[in-house]
Amino acid sequence: MQTKVRTEKMLIAGDWKYGRKSFQVTNPQNDQVIANVPAASAEDMIDAINQAEAAFHHLSSWPTHERISVLNRAADYMEDHHDIYAETIALEGSKTITEARGEVKRAVQTIRISAEEARRLKGETINFDQREGSENRTGYEYRFPIGVIGAITPFNDPLNLVAHKVGPALAAGNPVIVKPASMTPLSALLLAKAFIHAGVPKGFLSVVTGAGREIGEPLVTSDAVKMISFTGGLNAGEKIAHQAGLKRISMELGSNSPVIVLKDACLSEAVKASVSGAFAAAGQNCLGVQRIFVESPVYDDFVRSFVERTKELQIGDKMSEWTDMGPMINQKEAERVEAWVQEAVYEGAVIEAGGIRDGALFEPTVLTNVSHSSTIYKEEIFGPVVIIEPVKGLQEAVKFSNDVNYGLQAGIFTKNLDHAFYAIQHLHVGGVMVNDSSDYRIDEMPFGGVKGSGLGREGVRHAMNEMTEPKVVCFKITNMWGA
């Protein structure tokens, strides 16, 4: 079936505009063109920044009740157009239609949580009289918006990860400029339509589409942009950090997530959660399970069950209700994963399942006997490949888990509380999921990692803290009329 090609406009400070040039968005499953999208120029980005800065100064005290109303109306619009959002996510990206529906639901929740947290963005009183001589002072601190937020988002969650930047920014009273991934810009533009329908103040939201090499640097380096919120790869994150200068930076830079399975675990639950965590969204998930360390007495049983469940997955057409996993985002990425697997096999790894590529589709792949020096062991795979390795016990599993330059989340399966708390204390990660895989998140929780996994935390309330500044107010009270 031939998909009708859409012609889209980008949003610059409340106005829908074409660009002087355009680029094509394709469906990675069949390379069909699904949309023509503006390829913005540096001048377009500068225009969006200037108008956002002017809008912020004009409306520097945007009332909380208005922010709440805009956010809730946007969430209502998304719910009313749920099917359109889901179909767009599935067509332009790697998710199956079932996964896409789940992402829409989460994005709606993210925007609603943002509305709730706008109500709860509060300061606190300060006891100045704790210092001797300050008995006649009283005061408080409150949080105020910092200004224009630059948001750079990836392809793998093209709606919800945009919502995680736009929602908190607007809830805190900041204008936000989104530069979405060029492979998946349509979902971000749909989110913008929800906010325009909801009545977001002019200038407070822009979605500028195009190549990062053209419009990324003006966004990152502008003095008018007070914070960059970036989700993407480590190399790009390091480049942005060097370019940004003296401004706030929040970065989620990926992972190489471990899961530990101890001999007392419920193996069926560990297998079920870990297969899902490894292969959801074709493995293109920063929380995806990449390395599984299994205590030796149950290793063989775990591998056998894991491989059996992996081979049951239905792969193919993203738009089918029965498909568990579709293609990767493009053939180039699938070829990269294939090359990493072949390198690991050359170094002694064994393919227990999968390992076959067909265009952008790479079969769910299970590897054992992988060398710790292999690229696929040390770096983020970001594809449908998982490594399973036996360990002597918990301490060795934790040591191996920490032996990479990433630390986003980890999972551990055990019935022993002492073992669970040992892992909690000693795993160098931003989150530990007990009796679940690393691939678990709710949109309200603080989300981020250590080492090469990033800086700062997302999750609506925590992102809002990053996007606001505290201001201290102190009154010196003079009793003019006497005691």
**Are 202 and 298 in a shared domain?**
no
Look at residue 87 in the predicted model and tell me its pLDDT.
Answer: 97
pLDDT, one tens digit per residue, over 149-158 is: 999 999 999 9
pLDDT, one tens digit per residue, over 336-368 is: 999 999 999 999 999 999 999 999 999 999 999
Question: Is residue 443 in a domain?
Answer: no
Percent of the chain with pLDDT over 70: 99
What six digits make up the tokens of 109?
């929740």
Question: Is residue 447 in a domain?
Answer: no
Which of 12 and 479 is assigned the larger pLDDT?
12
**Are 166 and 311 in a shared domain?**
no
pLDDT, one tens digit per residue, over 97-118 is: 999 999 999 999 999 999 999 9
Please say if the pLDDT value at position 2 is more than 70.
Answer: no
Q: What is the mean pLDDT of residues 250-279?
A: 97
DSSP letter string, 232-262? S-HHHHHHHHHHH-SSEEEEE----EEEEE-
**Are 381 and 337 in a shared domain?**
yes
Q: What CATH number is associated with residue 119?
A: 3.40.605.10
Q: Is 141 exposed, middle or buried (0-12, 13-18, 19+ CB in 10 A)?
A: middle
Question: Is residue 165 in a domain?
Answer: yes
pLDDT, one tens digit per residue, over 385-436 is: 999 999 999 999 999 999 999 999 999 999 999 999 999 999 999 999 999 9
Please say if the pLDDT value at position 1 is more than 70.
Answer: no
CB 409 within 8 A of CB 431: yes
pTM here is: 0.95
pLDDT, one tens digit per residue, over 364-381 is: 999 999 999 999 999 999
**Are 302 and 273 in a shared domain?**
yes
Percent of the chain with pLDDT over 90: 96
Please say if the pLDDT value at position 27 is more than 70.
Answer: yes
Question: Is residue 444 in a domain?
Answer: no
Q: Could you give the residue numbers annotated as active site?
A: 252, 286
Look at residue 481 in the predicted model and tell me its pLDDT.
Answer: 55
Question: Is residue 483 in a domain?
Answer: no
Q: Which domain, by its residues, includes 152? A: 6-253+453-470
Question: Is residue 386 in a domain?
Answer: yes
**Are 223 and 300 in a shared domain?**
no
pLDDT, one tens digit per residue, over 208-261 is: 999 999 999 999 999 999 999 999 999 999 999 999 988 999 999 989 999 999
Question: Is residue 192 in a domain?
Answer: yes
pLDDT, one tens digit per residue, over 64-105 is: 999 999 999 999 999 999 999 999 999 999 999 999 999 999
User: 170 - beta bridge partners?
Assistant: none
Give me the half-sphere count of Cα atoms (radius 13 Å) on the Cβ side of residue 249: 19
Question: Is residue 441 in a domain?
Answer: no
Number of domains within the chain: 2
Please say if the pLDDT value at position 281 is more than 80.
Answer: yes
**Are 178 and 151 in a shared domain?**
yes
Please say if the pLDDT value at position 4 is more than 90.
Answer: no
Look at residue 3 in the predicted model and tell me its pLDDT.
Answer: 66
**Are 300 and 398 in a shared domain?**
yes
pLDDT, one tens digit per residue, over 451-464 is: 999 999 999 999 99
Give the CA dihedral 317, 318, 321, 322, nearest 10 degrees. 50
**Are 191 and 115 in a shared domain?**
yes
User: Which distant-in-sequence residues (6+ apart) come within 8 Å of 211 by Cβ?
Assistant: 23, 39, 182
Look at residue 350 in the predicted model and tell me its pLDDT.
Answer: 98
Beta-strand pair 409-413/257-261:
parallel
Angle, in degrees to the nearest 10, between helices 160-171 and 97-119: 10
Please say if the pLDDT value at position 60 is more than 90.
Answer: no
Q: What CATH number is associated with residue 408?
A: 3.40.309.10
Q: What is the mean pLDDT of the chain?
A: 96
Give the CA dihedral 227, 231, 236, 241, nearest 10 degrees. 30
Q: What is the mean pLDDT of residues 251-276?
A: 97
**Are 462 and 417 in a shared domain?**
no
3-state secondary structure at position 368: strand
**Are 194 and 73 in a shared domain?**
yes
**Are 118 and 26 in a shared domain?**
yes
**Are 222 and 275 in a shared domain?**
no
Report the distance separating Cα 75 and Cα 78, nearest Å.
Answer: 5
